[in-house]
A = this chain, B = another copy of it.
Amino acid sequence: MEVRASAPAKVILFGEHFVVYGEPAIVLAIDKRAHVRARLREDQSIYINSPNLRLSGFFRGDHFEPERGGKDAHRQLEPIKIAAQKVLEVSEEKVGVDIEVSSQIPVSAGLGSSAAVAAAVAASVGQILDIELSKKQIYDIALEAERFVHGTPSGIDPAISTYGGVLLFHKGKRFMPLDVDMEIPLLIGDTGVARSTGDLVATVRETLKRYPSIISPIIKAGGKLTHRAVEALKSNDLQTLGELMNINHAMLCAIGVSSEPLERLVYAARKVGALGAKLTGAGGGGCMIALCPQDKLKQVAEAIERVGGTAFIARKTDDGVRIEH
């Protein structure tokens, strides 16, 4: 028997970085999903295969046995093992699992790929072991896996992959679903430039320390902006959302997390009719998002690709982690 599960990627619409300093952020689940297939094994090992990443290997107790990808495989597959392990621990059966991951989500791009995989792993392994896992339990397991990846994860990624929709996020892992009716037609532009979230968070901390009287009011204004964006989301006001995205982007520039490739994509998108455009996530490289009128999606995508980005359309999804039948 095989069980399939999937969970969505995310984009941060507003408030990244500022959330570290207690301001709220708005996160959106998008219709790019991580897919996982789980099968029971007779032995108690966990076999993980990720054809996308060309990595596979066996976890047998504390020992890892790479099949493809060597040491790199260990580091990258460990969070998946953690998620599976946590579910196996709940069960009393002395079994193992085969896990196959296939994801539509670009990795290391700030789109929450690892959390989506972890949530889907938890759901699929739970189902095949016949354990009723609540969403809260799946969230907790995905958060546990994220700890391996990020050290002190904000909890944003596991939450949105688990619950879907739109979440208003506060520090201390408090989040609240936002009831958003409207379509939010987004283009995601990937710069293809790798960046380290940890380094960028450290850059902001350093800048704030050097110039507290300048940077602190910007961070606080970022919080006001997110609250204003909640109003705009509730009143289906795409125009205002776009304007707020542009202002939010500039604030992220002020705290030092934009980069030349990001600016190139952001201005290319605005030039051909995006209502607003901003970097999303940690910055430095990674992805930007552009809010587009439906009839401009194609043009904006082309503009992003012309200046060296990879563009894809992303739509809000209300479907969090789910079993696929």
Partner of A211, one of B247, B253, B267: B247
Assembly stoichiometry (copies): 2
Is A52's beta carbon under 8 Å from chain B? no
Most chain B Cβ neighbours within 10 Å, of A244, A247, A249: A247
Residues of B within 8 A of A211 (CB): 225, 228, 243-244, 247
Given A247-B254, A251-B254, A217–B214 Cβ distance below 8 Å?
A: no
Residues facing B in A241-269 (CB within 8 A) are 243-244, 246-247, 249-251, 253-254, 256, 258, 260, 263-264, 267
Is A271's beta carbon under 8 Å from chain B? yes
Is A313's beta carbon under 8 Å from chain B? no
The residue of chain B having its C-beta at the shortest distance from the C-beta of A227 within the complex is B213
A267, B264: Cα distance in complex, Å: 9
Residues of B within 8 A of A221 (CB): 213-215, 217-218, 221
Residues facing B in A148-205 (CB within 8 A) are none
Residues of B within 8 A of A71 (CB): none
Residues of B within 8 A of A253 (CB): 249-250, 253
Given A260-B267, A263-B267, A271-B260, A247–B217 Cβ distance below 8 Å?
A: no
Per-residue contact bits, chain A 203-233, to B (CB 8 Å; 1 contact, 0 not): 0000100110111011011001100100000
* Contact across chains for B228 and A224 when beta carbons are under 8 A apart: no
A260, B271: Cα distance in complex, Å: 8
A224, B215: Cα distance in complex, Å: 10
> Shortest Cβ distance from A234 into chain B, in angstroms?
17
> Shortest Cβ distance from A284 into chain B, in angstroms?
14
* Contact across chains for B217 and A225 when beta carbons are under 8 A apart: no
> Shortest Cβ distance from A40 into chain B, in angstroms?
54
Residues of B within 8 A of A258 (CB): 250
A225, B253: Cα distance in complex, Å: 15
A264, B268: Cα distance in complex, Å: 11
A260, B266: Cα distance in complex, Å: 9
A145, B218: Cα distance in complex, Å: 38
18 A-B pairs within 8 Å (CB atoms) are namely A210-B243, A211-B225, A214-B224, A214-B244, A215-B221, A215-B247, A217-B224, A218-B251, A247-B254, A247-B256, A250-B251, A250-B258, A251-B254, A260-B267, A260-B270, A263-B263, A263-B267, A264-B267
